[in-house]
Amino acid sequence: MSLEENLNFFGMLNNLTGKELKKKVEKGLKEMGLYENRKIKYMEASTGMKRRLNLARALIKEAEIYLLDEPTNGVDIETKIKIYEIMEELSKNGKTIILASHDVSEIEKTDRIVVLKKEK
C-alpha cells in the first residue's frame, strides 16, 4: 500500500468520501511534504516519512483533541520543525494537543505539563 493509499484508507475509516476525501488526502500529503513521494510503498518509506504520514492520518479528521505519542522520535530536524509548526498551528486554532514525550525541547513548547511518575 502506498503512502497515498494509506492516507486514503484512513480517510475512508473516518467516513470521508468522494471529493472531500480526495481534497483532504492531497492536502495532508502536501502539508507533510509527502506529495512527491505519495506512490512510495509504506514499508519502503523512511522513518521520517512514516512519522509525517502518521500525523497526516491524525489530521485528516478535524478533531478538537489530538493525542500525539512521541511525534518527532526518529525524524530529521526539518521534519521535527514541520511537526512543531503544525502543533503550534493546531494550538492557535483552539485545538487541544495531548503530547507524550521524553524530549525536553518538545515539553518546553507546551502550555501545561503533567508528569506521570510510577511510585514503588
Residue 119 resides in a domain: no
The total domain count for the chain is: 1
Contact by Cβ (8 Å): 89, 66: no
What distance, in Å, lies between the first and last C-alpha atoms of the chain?
A: 45
CA distance 113 to 26: 34
Which amino acid, residue 91?
A: S
Mean pLDDT of 51-58: 91
Give the CATH number of the domain where residue 39 resides.
Answer: 3.40.50.300
Q: What pTM did the predictor assign?
A: 0.80
The answer on pLDDT for 109 being more than 80 is no
Predicted confidence at residue 25, as pLDDT, reads 97
Give residue 93's domain range.
Answer: 3-107
3-class secondary-structure state, position 30: helix
Q: Which residue carries 497515498 as its cell?
A: 4
CA distance 93 to 87: 10
The answer on pLDDT for 119 being more than 80 is no
Residue 91 resides in a domain: yes
Q: What is the largest CA-CA distance in the chain?
A: 54
Could you read off the pLDDT of 57-94 as tens digits, one per residue? 999 988 999 988 888 888 888 888 888 888 888 989 99
Measured in degrees and rounded to the nearest 5, phi and psi for residue 94 equal: 85, 10
Could you read off the pLDDT of 25-47 as tens digits, one per residue? 999 999 888 999 999 999 999 88
Predicted confidence at residue 22, as pLDDT, reads 96
Predicted confidence at residue 120, as pLDDT, reads 63
The answer on pLDDT for 112 being more than 90 is no
